[in-house]
Copies of this chain bind each other. A is one copy, B any other.
Amino acid sequence: MGETVVGLTCTSPTNIAVVKYWGKRDIKLNLPINSSVSVTLDQSDLKTITTVTASRAFTDKGDRLWLNGQEEDVPSNSRLVAVFREIRRLARETPASEKDDSALVKDPDQVAFWVKSRNTFPTAAGLASSASGYACLVFALSRLLGLKTTPEVTAVARQGSGSACRSLFGGFVRWSMGEKVDGTDSIASQVAPAEHWPEMEALIMVASRAKKHTSSTSGMMTSVATSPLLAYRAANVVPERMSQMEAAYLAKDFPKFAELTMRDSNQFHATCMDTYPPIFYMNDVSRAVTNVVHAINVGYEKVVAAYTFDAGPNAVIYVLKENAMNVLALLLLAFPAGESESSGVVGGEGSGYVLSSQLEATQALLENGIPDVHPDLVQQMRDIGDAGRLLQVIHTRVGPGPQVVEAETETFWK
């Protein structure tokens, strides 16, 4: 390979858990106290793009990584160090017969990796980028080294960021907590591909772009140390909920999927509140979204929307395609425009509707008809009118796993 530079570019999706991961039993290895399962979101709206290059010429400076144009200090970042170390180990230990013949890098110990990574999340949506980021890094490195997305590869991504292992697949993805001390059975696997339930869509309600006060890692440590309810949840609630959730998803039973999703989000935030001192991720707008979603479901006389909140105040609302525009219209009636210029609906059929002209936007949506919604519900949402300010709604859907997109690599060093 000499002094040549080889490389490739990949994209990876983010994912939003419906049975939540909260609590580590091993902080260094990112081993969780319970299993979790998530929907992988489409990459047209939210993704990480990562170009990994490798060369013998890089070795004097070691592995390097630029995130959104800023170089990270790799040696001082134990997560990045672990990912580079573990993916090299895997490449070394994997028999050639199990590798892709056309791998660009045959011997990982002869090269250093220089990596550029950026996120295309609309104006900091308040969504975790570490899942798509570490998934993309590990996926790109694994392809460069000729590795397939094996369970072992998901375990490497997990060591970067726990939920990253779930972003290595599209569709509906389980992260099994595992039992072993070394974490080799704490791996991700696909429950169903994106094509299984393509009607699954998501409305990301961006109410705040503020960085969260409590980082997930420190929050989890405090919760594990102080919340008796978290220990009970992990051991006694999650196992059965995982089974029910996977069964509901496989059966495409939206009402069941939705109820489990909402219950699990609520329980996760309950364990945060049971932490000492308590951790609050939801705010008054989050609570208003919760109440409005329940009101919409009551108005529909069936469950058509399910909220879930990660470690922050922004809701992700799962809806089926047939109800998505109606639910969006109802939500826009209850939540007026934020003051930001970038307020608006991004993605999906409603794209371009600007929240600052909420009433016109909603009128336009309503003209498309809310055929099976009782007029009382429309009026109820109008009456709520000012439940909280939204900055942005991102309309997206279930999507596939990481992709190789060679074209971009060419421009890496220009």
A residues at B contact (CB < 8 Å): 226, 228-229, 232-233, 236-237, 259, 262-263, 266-267, 269-271, 273-278, 280, 283-284, 287, 290-291, 294
Contact = CB atoms under 8 A, between A and B. Distances in A.
B283 A274 contact: no
Contacts of A263: 226, 274, 276
A275 B226 CA distance: 21
Contacts of A226: 263
A228 B284 CA distance: 25
A79 to B, nearest CB: 29
A309 to B, nearest CB: 11
Nearest to A271: B270
A268 B229 CA distance: 11
A232 B312 CA distance: 26
Given A229-B271, A283-B287, 8 more contacts: A229-B232, A232-B232, A259-B276, A262-B276, A266-B273, A266-B276, A267-B274, A280-B291
A5 to B, nearest CB: 50
Contact of A266 (B259, B262, B274, B294): B274
A278 B259 contact: no
Nearest to A240: B228
A22 to B, nearest CB: 13
A287 B294 contact: no
A290 B270 contact: no
A269 B290 CA distance: 16
* Most B C-beta atoms less than 10 A away, residue of A233, A269, A280: A280
A260 B315 CA distance: 32
A188 to B, nearest CB: 26
A294 B277 contact: yes
A236 B231 CA distance: 12
A310 B236 CA distance: 28
